Structure 1
Amino acid sequence: MGDRLRYGDAIALRAAILDDSSTLTGAKHMDLLFPVTWGDLVDDLIRHGVGAPTPIKYKQTGGEEEPSDEELKQAQSLLSPIPGSGINN
């Protein structure tokens, strides 16, 4: 196999990264604004309790409006054409 990672090892590595809140990938997966260690998360839970407002900010989900057709057309007009794709040609 050479230097390639085995399929099972790649899946295990991905799962470990997603479960680690101290990595950017793990924090994004857990909808955190920034990476934090598990110790910080547990400390925050002990200090503030479950469901209490905490200093660790989570991303707000929902409440975001969809762009209007006019906004989409304006954004698309700013894109560079991709040759042969039929997009912006």
Structure 2
Amino acid sequence: MDLELAGEELRSVLNRLRRAQGQIAGVIRMIEEGRDCEAVVTQLAAVSRALDKAGFAIIATGLQKCIAEGQTPDGEDMRKRLEKLFLSLA
């Protein structure tokens, strides 16, 4: 399944990933500065959520495309592939 996102979908996913990238840089600085463990873990959780949301958006777009265009070349196999993708983010 190729990654083909429309303009707005692409911008949304890229914005989420850039935000996560900034959060990761912030977590690295926090660790280097010896910041409070709770604050570091809170930021790590925020990064994790941002990455999950980006991944779910990509999967949802792929699923929508498959349904809208009737792209189920191998039927059951496509379902298993999508299930595997969802589980990889769980």
Q: Same fold (TM over 0.5)?
A: no
Structure with the greater relative contact order (CA < 8 A, sep ≥ 6): 1 or 2?
Answer: 2
TM-score by length of 2: 0.29
TM-score by length of 1: 0.29
Larger radius of gyration: 1
